[in-house]
Amino acid sequence: MRGKKIIGGMVLGAAVLSLAVVLMLRAGGREEDGEFASGAVNAGNKPAVGIIEINGIIVGGRSYGSLFGESHTGSQTVMAQLRQVSRNPNIKAVVLRVNSPGGTPAAAQEITGELLKLKKSGVKVVASMGDVAASGAYWISSVSDRIVASPGTITGSIGVVIQARNYQGLFDKLGVEERTFKSGPYKDMGSPGRPVTGEEIEIFQSMVDDTYHQFVDLVSAGRKLRPEEVNRLKGRVLTGRQAQKAGLVDDLGNFYDAVSLAGEISGLGRDPRVVSLTPRRHWWSFWEEMESSLGVGRIPLTDIEAYPGVLLLCPPVGVGDLKGGAAR
């Protein structure tokens, strides 16, 4: 019996060690904030185009990944990267490689604010859209000097959503009673234990409307469109080709086309030197990757209804949801 326990412990230890090694080697883990890393990202001494990746849900705080490949872009991480660019005279342009369905308004605004400051300093910004660059991801992309998307990229979704669940009927069937003690009538707005009141509906809608107007104003200014033209889209998703016709995208092409364009508009030519602006990761970051995989200490944004706040998210669109090129 003792021998079996020893063998079992050795097997378990080997499994844990293997998992630790895999996590340490993975490139999809949390990126260390540029400003807080032990050294600045080294772009060399020659002019170059810098690449910044925006993957997954966009949230406040630092970027992080998970054991299962899911990644989140933190505004704090991206802002630090952009500030490093502003301090490096050799980086003449930045390509934002965007593959994200959106995120929270505040996170998108934080990143956008740093992008606008960077542009004022003379650095060119090109957004390169991957599979999806919608809602909050389009919010960020809209302030770029140029936007490049593939014809089949899912983008647009210029809109705002707040969703609340009501489990009162289920609670009644299960015999579950929820009692709430609150300091004001609106403190538990959106509670799943009761229906939303008429006054609360008006408050929620006012929040959505205000955030939406901020979104429209930003896109109108960035894309030089009239607000009516943006409103006419009614928050729908578009393909990259449709977005180009609507004035939301400048050029159709891939990542390398975006890099060439960035080089061209920054004076580096069509074949510029390219550097990754992803900050250096430390060996211990795999523990935080494991933590995020287990859902410890993270806001669960994979389900948009699970987040109690305003969101700029594109609804999930799968291959089975696309019929005749239009989103269901």
Cβ neighbourhood burial of 169 (10 Å; 0-12, 13-18, 19+):
exposed
- Quote the tokens at residue 141: 């992309």
DSSP 306: G
Q: By the 8 A CB rule, do 67 and 78 touch?
A: no
Residue 153, SS3 per DSSP: coil
Cβ neighbourhood burial of 318 (10 Å; 0-12, 13-18, 19+):
exposed
Residues β-bridged to residue 133: 100, 155
Q: Mind giving me the DSSP string for 25-41?
A: H-SSSPPPPGGGSSS--
- Quote the tokens at residue 53: 């990746």
Pairing assessment for the beta strands 124-134 and 146-149 based on DSSP bridges: parallel
Active-site residues, by number, are 135, 187
Q: Count other C-beta atoms under 10 Å from residue 282's C-beta.
A: 14
Residue 116, SS3 per DSSP: helix
Half-sphere exposure of 104 (CA within 13 A, CB side): 19
